[in-house]
Amino acid sequence: HDLGRRRIVDNTADFSLRVVEADEGVLKMRVVVGRPARRTPVFSSLMSYMVFNPYWNVPHIIAVEDILPKLVSGVDYLSRQRIRVFKDWTENAGEIDPQTVNWTHYDGTYFPFRLRQDPGPNNALGRIKFIFPNRFAVYLHDTPQRSLFNFTQRDFSSGCIRLENARALAAYLLKDRPGGRKTVASILSRATRRVVRIPNPIPVHLIYM
């Protein structure tokens, strides 16, 4: 029943995110949520850190349902999207040449590879992702697909929440850190991946109301 004096509330029913302090809204933005076949789950967790210039490890369902059909026709898609292929999901898995793989031999029942998109302007996660541990592997993140925020009904994602203004949320979460707001601009001026702890972890509630 205690949602927290300071909290992030993402309401998938009206495609919005609010940051609340002492029952006063301090930040609000539009979001994109999971489409009907891959709905954003309802749960609560605690956000403790964010990643700037993140890699995107493509979830299995997206790899086999969305990307694999493209690879059967040709692997040029991977280089255009700056996606690399690794042998498996182990930490030290070796990178492999996608040209050496017969992609027609794989499907949803057997697809051992890990696809990882490098940081950059076209990365599916944009420039920032916000992490709160959960069993659904869902998080908040930036997006390069800005046009989606022009729609009234914004259910286009695969479960994660895409933010209209990820930089504003990052600046808010780092406001208690010395030079916090400048930190966001400074990190984003570089292209290297960086993990930043949030000085005061904040509850996150994904609701449907």
Q: Cα separation of 209 and 199, whole Å?
A: 30
Q: Cα separation of 194 and 153, whole Å?
A: 33
Residue among 1, 60, 105, 160 flagged as catalytic: 160
Examine the residue annotation and report whether 60 is marked as an active-site residue of this protein: no
Closest residue by Cα to residue 115 from 67, 165, 45:
67
Examine the residue annotation and report whether 105 is marked as an active-site residue of this protein: no
Residue among 1, 105, 141, 205 flagged as catalytic: 141
Instruction: Find out whether 32 and 154 touch, Cβ atoms under 8 Å.
Output: yes
3-state DSSP: the chain helix, strand, coil percent, rounded to 5? 25, 35, 40
Residue 128's identity, in one-letter code, is I
Token pair 């029952």 is found at 23
Residues in the chain: 209
Question: Which structure tokens are listed for 143?
Answer: 């997006």
> Which one-letter DSSP state was computed for residue 30?
E
Q: Cα separation of 114 and 86, whole Å?
A: 5
Token pair 């499907």 is found at 107
Question: Which structure tokens are listed for 166?
Answer: 């990820």
Catalytic positions, written as ranges = 141, 160
